[in-house]
Amino acid sequence: MSSGPQEHAPARPAPPAPRTPEPGRATVRAGAATDARLTGVLPAPTRVRPAPGVRYRLTAETVIRTGADPAAGTVADYLATLLRPATGHPLPVTRADDGTLPPVDAITLLLDPTTETSETGTAGTGSAGSTHEGGYRLDVTGDGIVIRARDRAGLFHGVQTLRQLLPAAIESSTVQPGPWEVPGGEIVDTPRFAYRGAMLDVSRHFFEVPDVLRLVDQLARYKLNHLHLHLTDDQGWRIAIDSWPKLAEVGGATEVDGGVGGYYTQADYRTIVEYAATRHITVVPEIDLPGHTNAALHAYPELAPDGVAPAAYTGTEVGFSYLAVDNERTYDFVTDVLGELAALTPGAYLHVGGDEAFKLSPADYATVMNRVQRIVADTGRTVVGWHQLAPAEHVPGRVLQYWGTTTADEKVAAAVAQGARVIMSPGNRTYLDMKYTESTTLGQDWAGLIEVRTAYDWDPGTYLDGVPEEAVLGVEAPLWTETIRTVPEIEYMTFPRLVAVAELGWSTAPARDWESFRLRLAAHSPRWDTASIAYHPSPEVPWPTTTGTGPAVPSPRREIGPVEPTADGGAQPPESSISAPAGTTSLSRSDNQPSGR
């Protein structure tokens, strides 16, 4: 029922239709654009020092050089795959085993434990006072480019910055004329928070492996480092579990509106995890418990409170399903599922949901979730749950994901006082499935309308009362897919708001400024146009006048064909197996509570 990228023949989709320049949009001179690229990086770096008048030009003679550490060579190979298609240059990757480096005409990547990655000259200490990986230093002179970092993640993030310093045409999969000039100067950079993520709900509507890999590449562009996959819900179970095969075979055969559903084989899932790791992105899998379990109960009625299989569910109500709390078979199921998932997932976190179990009493909820948390601990992983998990017993290291719409939650604050950490995902700030405006065709509005400035103008470190910055692990932008059926629709709802969340997770408060951000964001639209990434042309952003293609605004029925790999090396979207009806899904609220789904 699941198919990997190898099953789809190479092709390319038709590009979006050209847009007509709108009155009042800024026109930028080419020379000014070159200079502005150094100060236009997203997310905003810790420190930028331009060298006026200095340029480095990438030519057919340029080489990519590394030191002796093979880890730097892996990032160098990745950089070469990014730059070769558009430049047409060979860009050979060489290694200086003796430590010598070429003085001119090279892009050099160095792993150096003494690299300055913050204003204090040390690695980033971020919100929790611990050293976060991923900082880097980038220097551009007329003779060459050097990226230094303490770890491979830092080199990788430095490469993403270098990508932004090149013209937008670098995103093309075919040879472009250039010239390939990089403005001179110095960038010193390090992340604020250790956890910077996005979530894709593959349960309400299923997305194939190449679709997920395409999203991974887009997260990497903006230095996000976690992909949370919502793998199970009432509408579909999306991961094969060998010890409980009907979960995927039966529970995975449905989705919202009655589509064909689908699931990932364990080989599919490993492909996603391993590919994400090459982009320094950790996959966080979620098995939603004890509610949101109708698909599991449909496959295995022995887990249902009355032992009767419920019908398959393709609607969007929430809070009606739950596991049998007093049945030991329930805990065999949880142990087997989480054990297999932990074996497939090298990352530190297992997400267990824990929200909207409206039919369970507080005592029964505590009973099941206390045991679930201990089962996660027994796998050697750290438990993550939506913030409704807060009243359950404290397990060392546990993480609560806050999706509320208020700035105070006493239960979360109490859990933090016991040692819990928090991922900030307030629904009225970060939920990518919320409409931009009342006229947005896709999405929902229960948490409010979220334009770009709303997504940007808040601080994860000070947002929630009783949760000090040192307790904030990071920030995540979830995309629920009740109304989302295709890859262009994912992208349209994701861009540009995801970039706002990425800057909140990476950049310190002094580096962040709305007026600066909107200008830097506008300058990135030609890159998205070139890469055929759909996005919302927010009126809050002064998008530049271009002669290329504009944003691909999707319709609810838009479908696309299979295409070849991106310049990132990632798969482009395959042909959708879903033929969904036009329109959007109307969500209800259970027990007068807003749905997080």
Are the C-beta atoms of residues 226 and 476 closer than 8 Å to each other?
Answer: yes
**Count of alpha carbons within 13 Å of 477, Cβ hemisphere only?**
27
What are the start-end ranges of the H helices in 246-327? 246-249, 266-278, 294-299
What span, in angstroms and rounded, lies between the C-alpha atoms of 503 and 132?
16
Residue 303 token pair: 């887990």
Phi, psi for 200 (deg, rounded to 5): -120, 125
Beta carbons of 562 and 49 less than 8 angstroms apart: no
Strand 282-289 and strand 195-201: pairing? unpaired
Whose tokens are 């824990």? That residue is 354
Cα angle 400-431-265, degrees, rounded to a multiple of 5: 75
What stretches of 436-579 adopt beta strand conformation (E)?
Answer: 472-479
356 as an active site residue: the answer is: yes
8-state DSSP, 246: H
Instruction: Say how far apart CA 90 and CA 67 lie, in whole Å.
Output: 20
Q: Which residue is it, tokens 């055929």? A: 532
> Encoding tokens for residue 410?
């006493």
Name the phi and psi angles at 532, rounded to 5. Answer: 55, 40
Please state, as a whole number, how many other Cβ atoms lie within 10 Å of the Cβ of residue 424: 27
Q: Which of 107, 56, 54 is nearest to 83 (CA)?
A: 107
Active-site residue, selected from the candidate residues 116, 181, 356, 491: 356
Nearest to 484 by CA among 443, 445, 450: 443
CB 525 within 8 A of CB 549: no
Helix (H, G, I), strand (E, B) or coil at 111: strand
Which of 474, 473, 472, 477 has the alpha carbon at shortest distance from 452? 477
The tokens for 287 are 């098995």
- Give Cα 377 to chain centroid, integer Å: 25
- Active site members: 356
